[in-house]
Each structure stands twice: as structure tokens, then as C-alpha cells.
Amino acid sequence: METLGELLTETVRSARAAFPDLDFVRPAGQLHVALPPTTVDRVRVELASPSILRLQSLGVSTTPALSPVELAGRVTITASSFADGFRETFDPERLLDAEHPHGVQIRTEHEALPWAEVAFAEPVELTALHLRGIAARAAIESRDVRVLIGSPGGPWVTVYDAPGRAEELQAWVRARTVDVPDDLRPTFELLAGPLALTVAGHYQPARTAMKSAAKQLSDEARREFVRTVSEGVLHDRSLDWTAHGPTRSFRFWSAEEKQDYVRSTVAVADALRDLTPHVCFGYGAALAVVRDGDLIPHDDDLDLIVAFEPHEAATLPEAHALVEDFLRARGFTVKGDFFGHRHVAPAGGGKNVDVFSALFEGDRIAWYPGTRGALDRATMFPTSEREFLGVTVPLPADPVGYLETIYGPGWSTPDPAFKHRWRKKDFADQAATPPPPEPERRPGWLGRLRQSWR
């Protein structure tokens, strides 16, 4: 009997085989558009949604064949705009040399409809076009690419339309539902949309669709989806499906990048110690130190946890405000208006660290997400220290006890699809900002007169 994992794996494999052009969104992705011999005098590449157009090369195959050098002398290349410095370094011959990429040749400004055009001095017989994207994560911004050609005196004709291909893929995946076994069909129908969106590179809509579907999915089904799209699609694009959806996970970071990020996180913790001694690595950051000895391959950020006494902060908004004001005054960038945390980055820019605030309730404490009052002071503070990637990092007093509480008895086994307890209502009273004190009311003239009668 076919399992859900086998069904999803086969669907992904078949989808990528049927729609190989949608892999243009991967770093250095390539898009080959074959054409019947067609007389043209212009070619246009555009994006159908607001973004930045980036191209390493735009190869043109003609009959008879013309080399990039020959083509460069017969064309005029224009773009909707050039980002700073790119107009000066633009080389038509390098753009037209699809076999030998020379780095980014065209980079427009962020525009509603960025485009680049190749106009031929004399019409040519075109047989194919070959696009090569940039060798970086920003290649994903080409997911809505369109390719058009124009014949002398004729209108533009679309010969490739990525948004249309994404819609075709959605229909293709839905059509497979008919052949799915009855016991798997309801689950497959829920996962079909997120799966197709992921293959097409529409990652944010895919994450949104999966969050909606997850409400009706078992944990096992959710894990199978995460595993399948990560191994079957995203790893080839230097991505993983993490708690934040498709993201460049630590699996694809260099050793130097990892160490720099750990140092940056410790710098935030060191700064916060001047506000409170109750700060250390938490969540996946603590798990990485204790269990993996390295940043977790399927994770994509680090977390700090900080705690405040009742007299320091009465609510989570007050705790967040303490963190915000304190760190901003010291040059850090603090962003976000999240229920349990804030994003913190060095003043000069860099990867965010998530800083989660919590409030002591007697001897108990909990961070959101998590179970209210699940931890005690002795487990958490005073903090301990360990060496991690050549950096001394702060940890809970009892790191193993902390991890067992947060992740359960199976904490030592990696689980890319682990799901925290997200119950805001359990922290509702902590989330409420108390009303400001009533202003002192001074009696008016009649009140003063009455007081004088007493």
C-alpha cells in the first residue's frame, strides 16, 4: 500500500520532471526557451510583478548561428533601469554569452515591471533563448519571469510565461488527486496547493497555505510534507522548509558565517546583561549547543531568552519596551511587534537574533511559545557557559532540564517539523498593557470653596 510519504515524493519528482523550467528560481538557474524558426527584430525579458530583474546572461540562438561577439555588434540592449554601477560595467558581449557566465550583467532598480530588451539592427531567424539567473538567493525574484519576442511590424508575443506555468502546475497537481487512494485523498488535497506553490518558487504563499492546511493535518502528515519538499525541491535551491517556511537554513552556511553569527548573538546577550543578568541562549540556539555542537542544519536563526522580575516589567509589552529602549540606545536595530519576541541586529546590519522576553511569576517562568509556568528559576538561572564554535556562550543553569521541558523526552533526536505550543490565550493577562494611572484631579473653584467649608 502506498504511503503518504511515497505519494508526495513521487508527486514532487514528477512535477519537477514535467516543469523543469520552474527551477529557474534556483541560484544560477537556467531557462531554455526553444522556438520554431521565427523571424524577429527584438526580444524582451520582464518580470510580471514588482521586483528587481537580475540576469547573468541572455543567450540568443539564430540560424545561421551567430557568436556572442557577432551578436554584440548587431544589437542594441536596453533596460528599464540600471542599479548604481551596473550601467558603467555592462558588457553586451558577456550578457549574450550564455555558455560562459561572467556574473551579474543586468540589475535593474526595484520596479513595478522591470525589463530588458535586445533589439536587432537587422531581423534574424531565432530558434531559442537561454536565460541564466544570478548565483545567489535573490534569483528567486525571477519567479514571475516572462519572455517575449517581436517580429518586424508586429506586436510583442509571449513565448514563456512563468506565472502561467505556475497555474498549470497547480492544475496538474490537483488533477493527480483522482488517482490518489481514498484513505490519502483528503490529506493530499490539503497539501497539493502548498506543494505546487513551493515547486514554483512562491514561498510566502506556500507558507501561508501550509499554515492554513496544518490546522487539519496530523503531525505525521505535516512532517512528511516538510521532509518531502525540503529533500525533493528546496535543498537543490540551497533552502529548507523551516519554522519560517522555505529559508536558507544553516545547512548551507559556511563555517565562517556560522561563527560570525554566534559572535553577533553573544554580543546581544552581553549587552543585555547590563539590563538584567537573566539572559541566555534558548530554544533552538540552546539545542544546537547541547545536542548538535553546531548550528542545527534545518534551523535558520538563533534565539536569546531574557527574563524580568515583576517590579521591572508587569506585562510582556513592558518587557519588550525595556529590551527595545535599552538595545537601541546602544546602537542595535530592534524591529517587529511580535507577541513574545523582537528581532535584533547589529547597527551596521546583519542577521537578526530573536530576543524572547518572559516574566517571573514567583519561582516559575515561561517564554512564549511554550507552556505557561513550565520552568523554574533553578533550571534557568544563574546561567552556565559552554564553548560553541570557538565562542563562549551563555546557557540555562541546567541546559538538559531546559531542553527536556521545551522539547520533551525526545529532544536529543532531530525533528525538522517540531511544533511549539502556540497558545496566546494562556498568556493573555501578561499581554495586556495596564491602563495609565488616572491623572490627579485638582478641584475646581466650586470644589475648593466646598473644601473651605469643612
CB 177 within 8 A of CB 189: yes
> Which cell numbers in the block locate residue 157?
508575443
C-alpha separations of 179 from 3, 140, 174, 213, 246 in Å: 14, 32, 10, 21, 28
Q: Give me the helix-helix angle, 4-18 and 219-232, nearest 10°.
A: 30
Answer yes or no: are the C-beta atoms of 158 and 144 closer than 8 Å.
Answer: no
**pLDDT per position in the chain (454 positions), as tens?**
589 999 999 999 999 999 999 999 999 999 999 999 999 999 999 999 999 999 999 999 999 999 999 999 999 999 999 999 999 999 999 999 999 988 899 999 999 999 999 999 999 999 999 999 999 888 999 999 999 999 999 999 999 999 999 999 999 999 999 999 999 999 999 999 999 999 999 999 999 999 999 999 999 999 999 999 999 999 999 999 998 999 999 999 999 999 999 999 999 999 999 999 999 999 999 999 999 999 999 999 999 999 999 999 999 999 999 999 999 999 999 999 999 999 999 888 889 999 999 999 999 999 999 999 999 999 999 999 999 999 999 999 999 999 999 999 999 999 988 889 899 999 999 998 655 554 554 544 334 433 433 3
DSSP run (H or E) holding 113? none
DSSP for residue 288: I
Q: Taking a C-beta distance cutoff of 8 angstroms, is the pair 139, 28 a contact?
A: yes
| CA atoms of 212 and 362, how far apart (whole Å) | 37
Q: Which helix (H) or strand (E) holds 348?
A: none
CA dist 106 and 131 (Å) reads: 12
Contact 25, 135 (CB under 8 A): no
Pairing state between β 353-359 and 302-308: parallel
454: cell is 469643612
> Do 367 and 282 form a contact (C-beta atoms < 8 A)?
yes
| Residue 125 and residue 37 in contact, taking contact as beta carbons nearer than 8 Å | yes
Angle of CA points 136, 138, 142, to nearest 5°: 115
